[in-house]
Structure 1
């Protein structure tokens, strides 16, 4: 895996060796993806969909253009909400203690995405998805695709590589998209509760708009 930023005079492999063990990372990711919080969120989201649309959904959503347009809207809205759910945990000392669990991983890797406190997961994942669902009222198939893309992107964002394949998979070549390097810098330079940068995960525009964009050059 190619490091995207400088880790001092140490290669990425040495930096990774100081992270929690693989066993602990796997356990943390498993608890996040299949533990009580995940089960409760899935149940509540199912009930929410039934509340938003009491009548049976059609088997397929209406047309591909409408499907893609609403998907884009959901991704943009969710990322805006995620930006603030992320930022508030850096700026409010009480909330930082929950987000600090995720920041115990200074050198991002795929399993890092799943090692997150349940309060943190709610503020950055659960609430943004619920609010986005309430506003956009997606067809179930659209919601499945949306959640799949969000989980996939979150995992890729922590892979530590911005190769051409990664860029293609997450669409980093599209306008205003945040790169893997963008989030890598956040983990390395912002392991603290105040004055952090690069909060956005999907679209760099939020950091640009709200003055939290940092593009520290590699050394």
Structure 2
């Protein structure tokens, strides 16, 4: 082997190693930072730190080892993506999850008391969080699935699916009505069961971490992870224009309910489509996109 091929071989091995370790490694680091935030009683601060670090790492990897190079090209939607994120994931999630839910718990007295409901508060926190992910996923799954199957809900969800490339900046591109629906369906079940606020915060954080990982444009390998978790490999199929592929993989975090209800899809012998989006025509402007679901159609 010549001297010139040695660096190329080493670079290829490094890239392959990163492609296998990036998804589980970055998720584990983000969760560890969040856990430290709870130990110092500052979960909100350390969530923001973890999310920012995760976003920076993913953006860097998107530049050097993209899954689809064409998805790194400007589509003119960066401002709209950020604006949707701020109005939807920023305002709605922060206000509803961290403020409104806490407020509801204080007014609905039983929900704030340790003895309320059937939630296993005596379990270790890690096991409560795992249970919360599985339970909340039922509401998230059906909220997502109905957004594809009910035309009046699809109008709002189509704003997210109208993207023609996947990358971290359109992770939060959701119409605020769509976000309200998803948050409500995921959290109400846990509140009704009497889950404590720490569990709800953990669920919100993990959903945010997996969400940005799911939409990243990075050449990653997953193996059996895609059987259990919502990985980019699965979510790329979900954004297909072919509804035989697109109306699959509705889960947000774990694929439990897709397996149960027969909507899991991963064609390992084929590459997910590069040409993604919707059949309808979505206006390019942010304000136009907010108004688009409310317009009358024939």
**TM-score using structure 1 length:** 0.76
Q: Does 1:94 align with 2:152?
A: yes
Instruction: Give the count of matched residue pairs.
Output: 198
Gap change, CA 1:79 and 1:38, over 3 Å in 2? same
**Partner of 2:16 in structure 1?**
none
Deviation at 1:161, TM superposition (A): 3.0
Q: Does 1:120 align with 2:178?
A: yes
Query: Equivalent of 2:78, from 15, 18, 22?
Result: 22
Deviation at 1:16, TM superposition (A): 4.5
For structure 1, which runs of at least 5 residues remain unmatched after alignment? 5-11, 56-61
**Partner of 1:141 in structure 2?**
198
Task: Give me the whole-angstrom Cα distance separating, in 2, the residues matched to 1:31 and 1:67.
Answer: 31
In the alignment, is the contact (CA less than 8 A) between 1:160 and 1:181 conserved in 2? no
| Structure of greater Rg | 2
Gap change, CA 1:175 and 1:128, over 3 Å in 2? same
Deviation at 1:38, TM superposition (A): 4.4
For structure 2, which runs of at least 5 residues remain unmatched after alignment? 1-61, 115-120, 272-298
Runs of 4+ in 1 over 4 A off after TM superposition: 192-195
Deviation at 1:48, TM superposition (A): 2.5
**Partner of 1:53 in structure 2?**
112
**TM-score using structure 2 length:** 0.57
Gap change, CA 1:175 and 1:213, over 3 Å in 2? closer
Gap change, CA 1:35 and 1:14, over 3 Å in 2? same
**Partner of 2:46 in structure 1?**
none
Query: Equivalent of 2:260, from 203, 209, 215?
Result: 209
* Cα deviations by residue, 1:148-173 (Å, 9 ceiling, x for unpaired): 11111111111133636xx6xxxx74
In the alignment, is the contact (CA less than 8 A) between 1:70 and 1:136 conserved in 2? no
- 2:263 partner SS: coil
In the alignment, is the contact (CA less than 8 A) between 1:76 and 1:203 conserved in 2? yes
C-alpha root-mean-square deviation of aligned residues, in Å?
3.0
Q: Map 1:68-83; keep pairs closer than 5 Å.
A: 68-83=126-141
In the alignment, is the contact (CA less than 8 A) between 1:101 and 1:117 conserved in 2? yes
- 1:86 partner SS: helix
In the alignment, is the contact (CA less than 8 A) between 1:182 and 1:198 conserved in 2? yes
In the alignment, is the contact (CA less than 8 A) between 1:177 and 1:202 conserved in 2? yes
Task: Give me the whole-angstrom Cα distance separating, in 1, the residues matched to 2:133 and 2:103.
Answer: 22
Task: Give me the whole-angstrom Cα distance separating, in 1, the residues matched to 2:173 and 2:97.
Answer: 17
Q: Counting helix residues as a fraction of each chain, which structure ranks higher? A: 2
Task: Give me the whole-angstrom Cα distance separating, in 1, the residues matched to 2:194 and 2:166.
Answer: 32
* Cα deviations by residue, 1:78-122 (Å, 9 ceiling, x for unpaired): 112111000001101111100000001142212222110122112
